[in-house]
Amino acid sequence: MRINHNVSALNTHRQLGVNTGASGKNLEKLSSGLRINRAGDDAAGLAISEKMRGQIRGLEMASKNAQDGISLIQTAEGALTETHSILQRMRELAVQASSDTNEGVDRQKLQAEVDELSKEIKRISTDTEFNNQKVLDGSFEDKTFHIGANQGQNIKLSINDMSNTELGVTGYQSKETAVATDIKVGNTSTDSFKVDLKVETAKGNAEVKETTAKIDKDGNIVVTLKQDGGDTAKGTIGNVTATKQEVVDALKKIGIEASVDGAKAGDKLTTASSTTIAAATDKDDQKGVNISTQKAADKAITTINNALNKVSEERSKLGANQNRLEHTINNLGATAENLTAAESRIRDVDMAKEMMDFTKNNILTQAAQAMLAQANQQPQGVLQLLR
């Protein structure tokens, strides 16, 4: 028997330390819920788990990006919904103006509403924004939505210019244009006479093809302007009588300088000046909506139909992209869910198994403590031999 080294006690003490350490790890895992709390627990598993965590967080952010993309598309599509409604109203007005049950003054009021509706379409295109980005003025081109966890996983979207100009539904407006006049009046001795009026337009966007004038039975000089496109607009120059000097005075009242020479049958009235004539003009070449005449209103229906088709096409494109993003979100969610499950199997602790191990190690620890007490009693037997 040896008393300097109690091998049984040393062995029991070592086992007690092992069991106590194992119980401590069991408690750490049970309290954290993780199987891997440090690299030493599972170095390879930790590396794989961290890669998966990066993928999962990337997928979650990609899903958020897709949600933001849907929000942007919904903003643009909502504005185009109102543009569609406005165009339908413009078409309704064009159909109404196409009927000759309406007089010129009626069509003027209809035209005024069309012009205001056109302005609203322009305002919608310039004022619709998402996160301080205009989306309907043509500047939203080739924009990127990153919808994946890795590099290059994105889609691009462009939204066309949806202004009244691009849709071809700018309003017509009456614009005053200065024109040079050259008037000759012959045979002023009769009760009524015809005035031939030669008009040359100054620079501007009103073009007068042909103009004629005559004095009607009420003593009014009536001017008829034949405009571009075959439409006509009538206006009264002034209230005059058949007296040559009064004709001159009446013309002067509207800004036309005139003089008279000759007598009786050879009387002539000559003017050489410029005046201002209000004429219907197309603000944007042939793209406007003019319903001021039956013929123009009938043509405007086709113009508005084309605009409706453009808006429908753009809304369809936006809807397709929205559906795509919604499917993308579903796919991202499913992928993130599967990766989370895989990462959980690697990193998370099995609570039932870990509790079982803790119970075992706890029992072994208690047993080691009891056996250590017994081992410490063994050297005391030597005292019996020394008595």
- What pLDDT, in 10s, does the model give residues 85-123? 999 999 999 999 999 999 999 999 999 999 999 999 999
pLDDT of residue 215: 54
pLDDT (tens digit per residue) in 45-65? 999 999 999 999 999 999 999
Distance CA 265, CA 199 (A): 25
User: What is the Cα–Cα distance from 384 to 367, expressed in whole angstroms?
Assistant: 28
CA distance 320 to 314: 10
Those residues of the chain that have pLDDT short of 50 are 174-182, 184-211, 225-243, 253-254, 261-286
Which pair of structure tokens corresponds to residue 98?
């196409």
- The span from the CA of 223 to the CA of 233, in Å, is 9
Cα diameter, the chain: 176
Q: Which structure tokens are listed for 21?
A: 């350490």
Number of other CB atoms surrounding residue 148 within 10 Å: 19
Q: Which of 358, 338, 339 is nearest to 350 (CA)?
A: 358
Rounded Cα distance between 233 and 104, Å, is 10
Q: What's the pLDDT at 173?
A: 54
Determine how β-strand 194-201 pairs with β-strand 208-215: antiparallel
Structure confidence at residue 250 (pLDDT): 52
Residue type, 360: K
Cα–Cα distance between 94 and 86 in angstroms, integer? Answer: 12
